Amino acid sequence: MAEDPPASIAPTCRYDRSIVEGPLPPAVWKIAWPTMLTNIVGGLQGIIDHVLVGHLVGFTGNAAIGVSWQIFIVVIVFITSLFTGMSVLVARFAGAREPEKVDRTVYQAFLTATGLSWFVMAPIGYLLSPVLLDFVNAAPAVKAEALPFLRVMFIFSGGFLVFFMLGGALRAAGDARTPMRIGIALTLLNIAFNVVLIGGLGPIPAFGTMGSAMGLCLASGIVSAYAVTKLVRGGWVVSFPRGGPWGPDWTIIRSLFKFGLPTGIQGIAMNIGGVFMLGYIGSLAQSAAAQAAFAVSYSQLFSLVTWTSVGLLGAAATVAGQNLGAGHPDRANQAVHVAARIAVTAAAVIGLFFFAIPRQLLAVFGMNEPAVVEIGTQLLRILSASGFFIAVALTYTGGLQGTGDTKSPLYISIVSQVLVPLGICFVVQRLTTLQPLHIWIAILVGHATRCGLSVARFNQGAWRRIRVDLGEATS
């Protein structure tokens, strides 16, 4: 294994070398806390949307947003999988001190993602929105609110995708604070737009549920325009390459798909599983109440666990990937274990609130109907335990993906997030009457399975032998 060049001849590098040198826990925390804060703030923005819609539209509006997001994520996850491939390459090249390869990778990820979002996702998503809502058994009142929301998201989500691309690139290169600042700005803009567009203000009419989608697309469009300007001009730890080439570089694009496509298939499989799960929820006797409880309890409140854990996933991926690129596999291994301990602590704190005051949390969203409160309370208390499993699972998923093993999380997710929970619901429905509690327990078992398999696979250490390269640039 090649050693790092002596300090006297090492090239000047724009990357933070404390990630691959010095004490490890501070290096992990340096990436983790801004990402966690960004995701929590972003999650709070979603919660505020639900609060506004719940009070101004009713629980059908909450159900419409939850169902729409579940469908939307299934579609966009293929495009955002490119960002996982991008992050693998950026982290590895940053650790190896190869800034030209970092910049080439970022530009090609931007080019590919924007092209797919404008020319594939927008037209197909607009046309298929009614079919997708029928597929998840959305109640008529829910479908009426969800259809315009979903179509706005499909057509105008380009800025949203650029925002996610930028955050992934910066974090993979070791800068977690810049995406934190940009994410907070996006959230504040989004809240301001939604307050006006959901309820109306002066001459601006109330758009209701659709106003939530309009606010997000406007805010992300403004922030992404600023970000692209910065990438062109330079000044951040990543930028677009100076002097081109500006066309597609198929060598890089193939590498993006090589590492990113398994994550995309993983996300599609998981979210298709989520869509089928919504179908089971829609088949319940109290389908509208269960969909509303699921939208708030799982899609919003549980996001405090998942978004925190996703932040640690990103930290584990960055620190592990950069250390592997710098030739320190043992340090990469230790970094993931450190991140997992932080994830468990965060899940314990959030889970305590879920278990102790579920009714009060639901009331914040205007959830006062007895059936919705009963179902939502039941779900939140189960999620208080489930949070431990998903927090650990996501952290070790980050370790696998950051080092280039993106296939193992795919297989693990298909088993744990699709086959296991849907299999439980299928069997229960055939043997007896399916109840909300059966579905919630199926989710818990799926999370526990994913946790065990992710930890076991990472500890096998096959990721230590994965190599990354791009070859020469092509026009």
Where do the structural domains in the chain lie, given as residue ranges? 23-461
Q: Tokens for 375?
A: 């179902």
- Provide the pLDDT for residue 475: 33
Query: How high is the pLDDT of residue 49?
Result: 75
Q: Is 184 within 8 Å of 100 (Cβ atoms)?
A: no
Q: What is the pLDDT of residue 425?
A: 94
Residue segments in the chain with a per-residue pLDDT below the cut of 70? 1-13, 43, 470-475
- Which pLDDT score, from 0 to 100, does residue 391 have? 95
- The three-point CA angle 172-173-174 to 5° equals 90
- Residue 470 has what pLDDT? 67
Answer whether 113's CB lies under 8 Å from 82's CB: yes
What the block records as the tokens of 197 is: 């567009």
**DSSP labels for 323-379?**
HHHTT-HHHHHHHHHHHHHHHHHHHHHHHHHHHH-HHHHHHHTT---HHHHHHHHHH
Per residue in 172-189, pLDDT (tens digit) is 999 999 999 998 999 899
For tokens 């959030």, the residue is 350
So what's the pLDDT on residue 471? 54
Alpha-carbon torsion 30, 35, 38, 40, what sign? negative
Are 418 and 269 within 8 A, CB to CB?
yes
Q: What pLDDT digit, counting tens, does each position of 388-401 carry?
A: 999 999 999 999 99
Q: Which amino acid is residue 157, in one-letter code? A: S
Question: Roughly how many angstroms between the first and final C-alpha of the chain, as a whole number?
Answer: 32
Q: Contact, 259 vs 88, CB < 8 A?
A: yes
Distance CA 344, CA 339 (A): 9
Q: What are phi and psi of 242, to 5 degrees?
A: -80, 130
- CA 344, 76, 118, 125 torsion: positive or negative? negative
